[in-house]
Chains A and B, each alone.
Chain A
């Protein structure tokens, strides 16, 4: 008898271990009943992951609706979403990065036309539409350009033989190159390692060039041709793209041969410790570069000039690649709960305070106009340039046909930078690759 009991107990333990994996989740559920629905937000931005979790807890406390926030690790959003959305407990709220991302997920996007959130959006420029259907709504507007160290640049302006007397004189590629070359030549006197931070091609940093910088030749080509997307790019402004990339390589803190392993952190650290004057990045980098004692008054942002006619009037690159979508395959109750949560985030005091002041997001929602605007010198630089009548550059990189295209251009750029590949390869990846990827995905 005892033996039998023992073996039965053993068997129980064995089967128990099988299920323990699935069981561990249930403990974390916070009260909230099914009729109210529940929200599962798959967040894209790791920097704000904790803020979203805190906000979700507030909401649950207030309304009793369960909100789960999961943040995908940097660079793995698409794959996380792909596997999460196939589950029974799929995300009810996710995001796409623009028209190309939408093409993948359009079957999963709920029409937000009648939602309260859509009523808060200032203009249709900030939504993703398919015909009349509103599939995605941008929740953060970001800006990038060439961030510069005001203090260092002012110091340079006072030096003998400085090419400019004030930062505002930089209004074209020629001027930028003149200044950068001169800073590079006088780097010892200025106490820096180079004019630009290292153009790291590690995956933590290469998106600055294969996605953000590449936006400029695409933007100017679209503008010249009067289009807003294309199935075959011509590469009209590739020469200018090469020009600016060459400048990043030449007037840099490091030998271009080492760029392949340079990370985004290294580049940010060089800027944060005043080892370089210029750093191409955007408003989201504010936290990273002020960690080491750079003050708000040290920071400014210039448009990325690449040498196109009429670029004196060019502003910073402003747009969004973060569009909220609601999973149309979720249950009615869950969809309703999600819409309510979204609306609460952008209209309640707690939500607005968190988003504007804690996360530092500039949003396209009307509700933020009364006193909830994010403040940092980089966002300020954008408003100043807008006020001065400069034309912002739109984010056309969201029309890039696939991730693969970016990866191939990035790889070709890396090889070009370290001298193992020719610029022709970049051109090929850019022009031929575009048509190829477009064909493959349409």
Chain B
């Protein structure tokens, strides 16, 4: 067995590795290089040193987008995980039609972000029209619009992960707790939660990075309006790259900073939640 794994190793790994190198490693290194360049198209670039990075600090919209993104991420991580966990708990109680409910909750995740963004734009604008305003009226509407949209889209997906976690808990653990006289709240807090910690790790990781990287939904729902006030980091980078002539390099530099920030936060989060996981 071991022998044949070794023998076929290159055949099974190479295609994936090649795809990973072409689709990720090369653009990533090229991107870092380009962040130090001035260019119009990626094939002819002129090295200019760190001037692109200096330009970032004068950009008020980018700084605003960092705070806006951070706030959005905090709120969305909390709401998505809380609601997904509650739904998962309800749907593991053995109700009739549980499978139908699970499917229905999961469905929004099958629709692309741009489409969702436009659908919700129509819905929310339709509601807001009764109050004589639109999504563009203030960034607050855009913010909560995005939260609602992301919750709707992601709860189903996180729910599936939580359900898998909850179903993996040995029933004797819960039974033992019950026999010892634990209330259902205590059983939840002291048995269920520690046991689903791996699911929590993965779900917070996913929602956290999704929150930071959010682009399609932002573009479709508000387009960053009014006046860049609901613009998140990814959209800001996109706009810098395409709408400002001669700012392609600055867009790249922002993207590098964006990567470092997201990688750092995701790393810290993984370390923090991992340490709470228990072995069965």
| Interface residues in chain A, defined as those with a beta carbon under 8 Å from any beta carbon in chain B | 7, 11, 14-15, 18, 78-79, 82-83, 85-86, 100, 103-105, 107, 201, 203, 255, 257-261, 401-404, 407-408, 411-412, 414-415, 418, 420-421, 425, 437, 440-441
Contact = CB atoms under 8 A, between A and B. Distances in A.
Given A104-B40, A421-B227, A440 B246 contact: yes
Interface stretch (B77-85, B109-117, B129-137, B268-276): B129-137
Interface string B119-141: 00100010001001111111000
B156 interface: no
13 contacts: A18-B15, A82-B41, A86-B41, A100-B245, A257-B132, A257-B133, A258-B132, A260-B135, A261-B136, A404-B244, A407-B239, A407-B243, A440-B247
A103 B246 CA distance: 10
B125 A86 contact: no
B13 to A, nearest CB: 11
Contacts of A408: 227
A437 B247 CA distance: 11
Nearest to A260: B136
Nearest to A415: B226
Contact of A261 (B43, B125, B245, B248): B125
Given A85-B41, A86-B42, A411 B225 contact: yes
Given A82-B40, A82-B41, A418-B134, A260 B225 contact: yes
Contacts of A100: 245
Contacts of A83: 41
A11 B11 contact: yes
Contacts of A203: 223
A76 B133 CA distance: 28
B135 A261 contact: yes
Interface string B211-246: 000000000000101111000000000010011111
Contacts of A403: 242-245
Interface in B127-160: 129, 132-138
Nearest to A429: B227
Given A86-B42, A260-B134, A415-B227, A15 B245 contact: no
A441 B243 CA distance: 11
Contacts, number: 95
Contacts of A105: 40
Interface residues of B, number: 34
A259 B125 CA distance: 11
B134 A257 contact: yes
A414 B136 contact: yes
The 7 A-B residue pairs with the shortest CB-CB distance in the complex, in nearest-first order = A260-B136, A411-B227, A86-B41, A261-B134, A403-B243, A260-B134, A86-B43
Given A407-B243, A415-B226, 17 more contacts: A18-B19, A79-B242, A82-B41, A100-B245, A107-B44, A201-B136, A255-B132, A257-B134, A257-B137, A260-B137, A401-B245, A412-B227, A414-B136, A425-B227, A440-B244, A440-B247, A441-B246
Contacts of A414: 136, 225-227
Contacts of B245: 100, 103-104, 401-403, 441
B260 interface: no
B18 interface: yes
B8 interface: yes
Contacts of A255: 132
A86 B225 CA distance: 31
B244 A418 contact: no
Given A18-B15, A18-B19, A258-B129, A411 B226 contact: yes
Contact of A411 (B15, B125, B228): B228
A425 B226 CA distance: 12
